[in-house]
Copies of this chain bind each other. A is one copy, B any other.
Amino acid sequence: MARSSARRRNSGNSRAGRSGTAITQQPWEQLRYRTAPTDVLSADQIEAIHQASLTILEEIGCKVLDPEARRYLENAGAKVDHGEEMVWMDRGLVEEKLKLPPSSFTLHARNPAKNLKLGQDYAIFASVGGPAFVSDLDKGRRAGTYAEMCDYIRLVQGLNIIHQEGGGPFEALDLPQESRHLDLHHAQITLTDKNWQPWGLGADRARDGLEMAAISFGCSREDLIDRPVFTTVINTNSPLQIDGPMGEGLVEMAKHGQPVIITPFTLAGAMSPITLAGALTQQNAEALAGIVLAQCVRSGTPVIYGGFTTNVDMKTGSPAFGTPEYTLAAQATGQLARRYDIPFRSSNVTASNAMDAQAAYESQMSIWGAMSGHVNLLNQGAGWLGGGLVASFEKLIVDAEMLQMMAATQKPIEVTDESIGLEAIREVGPCGHFFGTQHTLDRYQTAFYTPIVSDWDNYENWSDRGGLDTTQRANAIWKQLLSEYVQPPIDPAIDEQLKDYMARRKQEIHK
């Protein structure tokens, strides 16, 4: 496969390289929804879930392992048992704090042209973040290196449809675990000029992210307080627990006015009730707990409601992704987030271990669920494979194609006398064709969506070019995209400061 891909690239026969031109992409642009979201729950059902989740927080309570987080909640009026590390919040407290976060805000990028609107009818697509492994068609699934990780980040920079780097595509296992985040952040800042996600695990790492972001913006860490630059994923430890590192990360980010994405990973039948209603209720309780905590740390901290409810395969206990239940949960979570008027995060996921048809259709099921639920931040939007354990180079390209197509379905349809073209229809008449009409000639270059990796050619031509499947074509495309990569400029003084900071911190960490 590798050889045939290489041959194809060299022969200049690929779609992308057919005439030696650059990969064709849609321009950088944020998607705005123009059709109504799909409501899968009635207003009464949403209210029932809301009320039941308030009862959970009030009566059952949740564990919060970070003492500082508990103190913030206690000071705001929550009942706390420090010995048992338990917190109970009454409905009044929750309802009051829910009024504080903004419904939308601007997320800043190093390149201001790539600032993002987060919330309301805007969508952001983020790349994959966090997997343990990397994979491509040439070398299969493996532990990744820093050099490979940098290549992946270069592709994220190169793909216009990806608005945000998603927090490090995979672990750079050739670097020491304790300081790896510093090298990641340096790559995120210098290899892209897009907004990027930090690591939220623990107060020290959170501070490192904030310091390095501040350097990149030429300001101090304290100056960031009115400039949201991070969306940090804070996973609850379902059921009903915010663990130490997550609590610390949340508190640190909220202190600095930085948005947090509270994301319960509620696996129905394992870490939450087996019913969709039960899983959504528990998800909602956990999300509200995190949202309230963020508001207790700093009133008005931007928060994002993260939904990650899915089910386990009851035969094996494996989590399933991109299932009908996942789709429904995404649509329902969008409704809950709108109920609270805060932005909604969902994901593009699949359980498939191969970059194949299942990977595509499970991803489609999750993206459609997210988008028909009016997702504002599609986290893990491109590259995720194998239940989130793998960042795939080819999946990144296939996802970029799918996201571009989704975005194109949200473009307004122009219906005017000119666009209907009654005169062109009259001119052509029955049995003619429209290839040569002025109406066609005026529009043909921009009329339709142009694909990245899809092959629309007939069987004979496709076969003559080697009969490559989508994944094999994606393999050639990411290599070409990498060869076309241009590093965005950065002030050398800023890069120097970043390197100094990293060197100092590495000394402290490894002393």
Q: Are B389 and A459 in contact (CB under 8 A)?
A: yes
> At the interface, yes or no: A28 with Cβ under 8 Å from chain B?
no
Partner of A431, one of B239, B332, B360, B432: B239
Chain A window 350-388, contacts with chain B (Cβ cutoff 8 Å), 1 for yes, 0 for no: 011111111111111100110010000000000000110
Tell me the minimal C-beta distance from A401 to chain B in angstroms: 7
Count residues of A near B (Cβ-Cβ below 8 Å): 123
Cβ proximity bits A439-468 to B, threshold 8 Å, 1 near / 0 not: 110011101110101111111011100010
Pick the residue among B351, B390, B445, B455 that contacts A456 (CB under 8 A): B351
Q: Do residues A351 and B60 form an inter-chain contact, with CB atoms below 8 A?
A: no
* A222 CB within 8 Å of chain B: no
Task: Report the nearest B residue to A286, measured CB to CB.
Answer: B430
Q: Indicate whether A126 reaches chain B with its CB closer than 8 angstroms.
A: no
A443 close to B398 (CB less than 8 A): no
Contact at A413–B328, with CB atoms within 8 Å?
A: yes
Instruction: Flag A406-424 by CB within 8 Å of B: 1 or 0 each.
Output: 1011010111100111101
CB <8 Å contact, A318 and B420: no
Contact, CB under 8 Å: B364 / A314: no
Taking the complex as formed, is A274 at the interface, i.e. its CB lies under 8 A from any CB of chain B?
Answer: yes
Least Cβ–Cβ distance between A61 and chain B, in angstroms: 7
Contact yes or no, B356 A356, CB < 8 A: yes
Q: Are A361 and B39 in contact (CB under 8 A)?
A: no
* Copies of this protein, total: 2
CA distance A128 to B271 in the complex (A): 41
Q: Which residues of B contact A41 (CB under 8 A)?
A: 413, 415
A248 at the interface (CB under 8 A from B): no
Complex: A424 Cα to B419 Cα, angstroms: 58
Contact call A413/B277, Cβ cutoff below 8 A: yes
Shortest CB distance A56–B (Å)? 6
Contact with B along A149-185 (1 / 0, CB 8 A): 0000000000000000000000000000000000000
Minimum C-beta distance from A50 to chain B (A):
11
Contact A48 B470 (CB under 8 A): no
Q: When chains A and B are docked, how far (Å) is the Cα of A448 from the Cα of B419?
A: 46
Contact call B277/A435, Cβ cutoff below 8 A: no
User: Is B361 a contact of A448 with CB atoms below 8 Å?
Assistant: no
Contacts of A443 in B (CB 8 A): 274-275
Q: Does chain B have a CB within 8 A of A27?
A: no
Contact of A36 with B by CB under 8 A: yes
Binds B, one of A4-12, A113-121, A319-327: A319-327
A145 contacts the other chain (CB 8 A)? no
Given known A274-B443, A277-B416, A281-B420, contact A241–B430 (CB-CB < 8 A): yes
A413: chain B residues at CB < 8 Å are 40-41, 45, 276-277, 328, 332
Q: B35 touching A40 by the CB < 8 A rule?
A: yes
Q: Does A428 contact B (CB under 8 A)?
A: yes
Given A409-B324, A413-B41, A447-B269: A470 and B274 interface contact (C-beta under 8 Å): no
> Chain B contacts of A433 at CB under 8 A?
239, 270-271
User: Which of B274, B365, B369 is the one whose CB lies under 8 Å from A447?
Assistant: B274
Can you list 26 A-B contacts (CB < 8 A)? A35-B39, A41-B415, A45-B413, A59-B426, A86-B430, A239-B430, A241-B430, A269-B447, A270-B433, A270-B434, A273-B425, A273-B434, A274-B440, A274-B447, A275-B439, A277-B413, A277-B414, A277-B415, A313-B456, A314-B444, A318-B458, A324-B411, A332-B413, A357-B470, A386-B459, A389-B459
Task: Using A277-B414, A324-B406, A355-B357 as known contacts, list a sample of 6 further A-B pairs with CB atoms less than 8 Å apart, ordered by residue number in A.
Answer: A63-B430, A240-B429, A269-B440, A316-B457, A353-B455, A390-B459
